[in-house]
Amino acid sequence: MSLPGTWRDHLAALAACQPWPRYYHFRAGEMEVAAALCRLPRGETMLELGCGNAFHSYLLAGRFRRVIATDLAAPDPVTHTIGLDRARRLAEILGVDNLRLVAASAAALPVADESVDFVFSSNVLEHVHDQARAVAEIRRVLRPGGRCLTIVPAAMERVYNFPVSYAAIVHGMLKGLRRHAATDPPPSNGRGLDLGGGEAAGGSLAGRARRFLGRHYPTFPFPKPHGEYPSSTAEMLAHRASRWRRLFTSGGLEIERTFTTILAPHNLGLAFSFGTAYWIARAGWPLTRRLGALPGFRALGTSFALMARRPAGGAA
C-alpha cells in the first residue's frame, strides 16, 4: 500500500537506508534534471540495474505497472554494492507496492527476452567488469522500441577528483600528526603516529607517511580508480562521451539523446562534505536544465546521461 506524502515526509525513517548524507536530495534533483532534458517513458515494465537502495525505482515507479529492481544480494566494497537489505527497507517505508527486488548482476539478468519497456541505471556500469555484456543484456530484455536511460560518470569527474584526493591525503596526515602530538611521549604499548590509518609506529616520520600512502593510496600521486579499471587514467579515458556512445551503439542500440545531469563541479565539494557537494550540484541545476544537452556544456559535466532505444526491427 502506498503511503501518504513523498520521500521528503519520511526522511527520518529513510536515514538508515541511504549510502551517504544528502543522497535522496542529490538523486531526486538529478532525476528532475533528466526529466527536463529527455522524455522519460511510461509503460508496463521497468527494470533498474544496480538499484542500490532502490530510490530511483521509487522515483520512477509511478510510470510503470511493474518495477524490477536488481542488484547483488550482499554488500561488496569492491564493487561498491550495498546489497538489497536497504532496498527492502526503503520499499517498506515508502510503500512501493509495484516493486520486485531481484538479486542479479548486470551481466546476467534473470528476465525473459523482450519483456521490459524501460531499463534504467545510475552510476552502475563503471563498476561492471564486462560492460559490453551488460549492454547486450539491456538490449536482450528490452522490447523492440523499448528504451534505456543510463547515467555514468563523465571524464571530467575524474579530472575534478585529483584535488579532492590530495585534500583527503592531507586531511589524513594532519589527523595523524594531531594524534602524534597528543601521545608525546609515545604510549607504553609502542604505538605512536598512525597518520590516520592505524600504521604501526617505528622509523622516521617520513617512513610512516610512506606506509600511510602505501596502505591507503597505493596509486599515489594519482587518485585511486573508483570503478572497474586498472588506474585512474584508464578510468578517465574510459569515461569519455565517445567511448560510452560506442559501447551502446556496438551493442545494437540507437542513441536518441545525450546530456549531463550535473554541470557544476560538484565533487570538488567532497573535499569538505557530501552536503557541500550537493549544494554545488544544486546551484548548477538551473543552468544544467537549459544547457546540459548542448555538446560544449555537456562536455564540462561530471555525469554523462544517454537515452538509447532498441530498434523496432531486426533479430533478437
**Residues 183-192, mean pLDDT to the nearest whole number:** 45
pLDDT, tens digit, for every residue of 103-149? 999 999 999 999 999 999 999 999 999 999 999 999 999 999 999 99
pTM, two decimal places: 0.85
292 vs 247, 249, 301, CA distance in Å? 21, 22, 8
Closest CA to 250 of 124, 139, 112: 139
**pLDDT range class, residue 192, cuts 50, 70, 90:** very low
Give the CA dihedral 239, 308, 263, 131, nearest 10 degrees: -20
| All residues at 6 or more sequence positions from 121 whose CB lies less than 8 Å from its CB, including other chains | 48, 49, 50, 106, 148, 149, 150, 151
The pLDDT of residue 1? 47
The pLDDT of residue 226? 84
The pLDDT of residue 3? 55
pLDDT, tens digit, for every residue of 197-210? 444 445 566 777 67
Q: CA neighbours within 13 Å on the CB side: how many for 109? A: 26
**Residues 210-218, mean pLDDT to the nearest whole number:** 71
The pLDDT of residue 315? 56
- Please name the residue ranges forming H helices in 44-184: 55-60, 85-94, 131-141, 155-182
The pLDDT of residue 303? 97
Which of 179-183, 196-200, 213-217, 291-295 has the highest average model confidence (pLDDT)?
291-295
Beta bridge pairs of residue 151: 122, 305
Tell me how far apart the alpha carbons of residues 264 and 256 are, in angstroms, rounded to a whole number. 24
